[in-house]
Amino acid sequence: MTISDFALIDRAVAEAAEARPIWAQSGATVRSQLLRGLADVLEANADELIGLADRETGLGEARLKGEIARTAYQLRGFASEVDAGVPFRRIDDAAVEGLPPAGRPRLTRVRVPLGPVAMFSASNFPFAFSVLGGDTASALAAGCPVVVKAHSGHPQLSRAVFDLARGVIARQQLPAGVLTMVESASRAGGGHLVQHPDIAAVAFTGSYQGGKALWKLANERRHPIPFFGELGSVNPLVALPNALAKDPDGLAKALAGSITLGCGQFCTSPGVIVLLDDPASDRFVASLGTALKPIQTHRMLTDGIRSGFEKAAAAIARANDVQALFEPAVDGAGPAPQLFQVSAERFIADERLRDEMFGPAAIVVRARSLNEATEALAAIGGTLTATLWGVEEPNEANRALVRVAETIAGRVLFAGVPTGVAVTHAQHHGGPWPASTAPSTTSVGYAALERFLRPVALQDAPAWVLEGKQG
């Protein structure tokens, strides 16, 4: 990190700070027009951007095409939220004559944008959680300028998307500081950004280590600021024998596909498979191994992610009483899938077995009873998703399992696999630590924009102050 890198960060933040009041006061039409313009420009340049993205990330054309569609969809989705007036909603309490507690002044609850948001791009979603991804879209919709910290895994793509966005901003005659970008790859640069006095909030998607370090720096400011970080998740799946018996091969294939999707580089990749001791489970484990072993993964996003995966998988492999369920095939472009197995007793006793392996691997946890399976799930503590197969019956054991799943996860699935996160109003992509540093907030779905608004109660406000609030 050189002084000039800090100076570039300071310049980007200064631009954002200058745009702050203008963007905070912008009306619905101005905001939604920008969001739709950004969606359009992505789609209009999809071919070129996909080529760039594939060279830098190796994620493949089909996936990247889908990701551009999703990114445009969520930009337009937030535009619709803005048009519907979501950021401008008020709650009015009329004055009530008389003494407290019933007597009261007139109060109006509005929400104000937090201010410039430092947005740390993710490596694994070069469109949907990068320069114009969900965090940027929701922060812009809320009225906050965004300072993008580009991810070093796809620098050229980041620059290309940023240049296109800047073009839209200029054509719409908006202040350039609505969206700025810094490219520093160093920890010091990220820390400088998070601690900049004009940064009002942080959005982060990435590794536990990197995210926790930035979260600590945000908390060490003289005035700590909100930090919305998604730091990691093991995404347990509990599959009961009654579900497995119906279609062991089909379910195994679906699960193997989910474990290896994108070379396992999804935050919702299922990493822990909890099974009861039962012949149907044995049959399923065999099918899962058969389905998983031959899958050829593509190369991982960065060398650091690859070595991190290998380290994490090796640590699981050499832990006491952990069994490798098959000899991994020779690596292709990406690492070979791996599957481990351990008893629920050991899994509960050894917290290192609950660490995330970010890549194409999972650990099967064998429980002697549904009660023990529930305890294994509880031991996980915090996760983005928990999937339960086979809890159709409302008996006491299933109730307990659902209760624990709801306690540790932000999303609970009762069918299917956890990869694939729909952008809707009901979606919640968060969860207790370490899934999220702010577990009541979501980074996917329309509720994401609420992160960047702060309520303010206006007491006895003149009419002009309230008029200004309706966008």
The footprint of its own copies on residues 406-425 (CB under 8 A) is: 406-407, 409-416, 420, 422-425
Question: Which one among 5, 6, 10, 21 touches its own copies, defined by CB under 8 A?
Answer: 21
Task: Please report whether residue 426 would count as binding its own copies according to CB under 8 A.
Answer: yes
Catalytic residue among 56, 267, 356, 375: 267
Q: Which ranges constitute the DSSP H helices of 321-452?
A: 344-349, 370-380, 396-408
| Of residues 342-361, those binding its own copies (CB under 8 A) | none
Among candidate residues 136, 185, 127, the one with its CA nearest the CA of residue 158: 127
Among candidate residues 246, 318, 259, 319, the one with its CA nearest the CA of residue 288: 259
Choice between 75 and 150, CB closer to its own copies: 75
Task: Please report whether residue 254 would count as binding its own copies according to CB under 8 A.
Answer: no
Q: Which residues pair with 147 in a beta bridge?
A: 118, 180
Question: Which one among 434, 448, 449, 471 touches its own copies, defined by CB under 8 A?
Answer: 434
Task: Please report whether residue 371 would count as binding its own copies according to CB under 8 A.
Answer: no
What is the distance between the alpha carbons of residues 230 and 435, in angstroms, rounded to a whole number?
5
Stretch that binds its own copies, among 250-258, 271-279, 299-307, 448-456 (CB under 8 A): 448-456
Task: Please report whether residue 457 would count as binding its own copies according to CB under 8 A.
Answer: yes
345 included as an active-site residue: no
144 included as an active-site residue: no
Minimal distance in Å, beta carbon 170 to its own copies? 25
Task: Please report whether residue 465 would count as binding its own copies according to CB under 8 A.
Answer: yes
Catalytic residue among 15, 67, 183, 230: 230
Stretch that binds its own copies, among 20-28, 156-164, 260-268, 269-277 (CB under 8 A): 20-28
Question: 111 near 135, Cβ under 8 Å?
Answer: no
Instruction: Find where tokens 């099918």 sit.
Output: 287
The DSSP H or E segment spanning 86 is: none
Task: Please report whether residue 378 would count as binding its own copies according to CB under 8 A.
Answer: no
Minimal distance in Å, beta carbon 341 to its own copies? 26
Question: Which one among 6, 208, 326, 433 touches its own copies, defined by CB under 8 A?
Answer: 433
Stretch that binds its own copies, among 44-52, 156-164, 290-298, 434-442 (CB under 8 A): 434-442
- Which DSSP symbol is given to 264? G
Question: Which one among 48, 55, 84, 105 touches its own copies, defined by CB under 8 A?
Answer: 105
Minimal distance in Å, beta carbon 347 to its own copies? 17
Task: Please report whether residue 91 would count as binding its own copies according to CB under 8 A.
Answer: yes
Question: Which one among 11, 29, 55, 109 touches its own copies, defined by CB under 8 A?
Answer: 109
Question: 164 near 172, Cβ under 8 Å?
Answer: no
Minimal distance in Å, beta carbon 78 to its own copies? 13
The sign one gets for the Cα dihedral 47, 51, 52, 56 is positive
What is the distance between the alpha carbons of residues 264 and 340, in angstroms, rounded to a whole number?
15
Exposure b/e, 365-403, CB count within 10 A at least 16 = b: bbbeebebbbbbbbbbbbbbbbbbbbbeeeeeebebbbe
Minimal distance in Å, beta carbon 2 to its own copies? 30
Q: Which residues contact 204 (CB under 8 A, 6 or more apart)?
A: 120, 211, 214, 215, 227, 228, 229, 230, 231, 437
Choice between 243 and 285, CB closer to its own copies: 243
Task: Please report whether residue 459 would count as binding its own copies according to CB under 8 A.
Answer: yes
Stretch that binds its own copies, among 261-269, 285-293, 314-322, 453-461 (CB under 8 A): 453-461
What is the distance between the alpha carbons of residues 39 and 18, in angstroms, rounded to a whole number?
25
What is the distance between the alpha carbons of residues 334 and 359, in angstroms, rounded to a whole number?
10
Choice between 144 and 292, CB closer to its own copies: 144
What is the distance between the alpha carbons of residues 105 and 96, in angstroms, rounded to a whole number?
7
Task: Please report whether residue 70 would count as binding its own copies according to CB under 8 A.
Answer: yes
Q: Cα angle at 396 between 393 and 400, to 5 degrees?
A: 100
The residues annotated with a catalytic role in the active site are: 230, 267
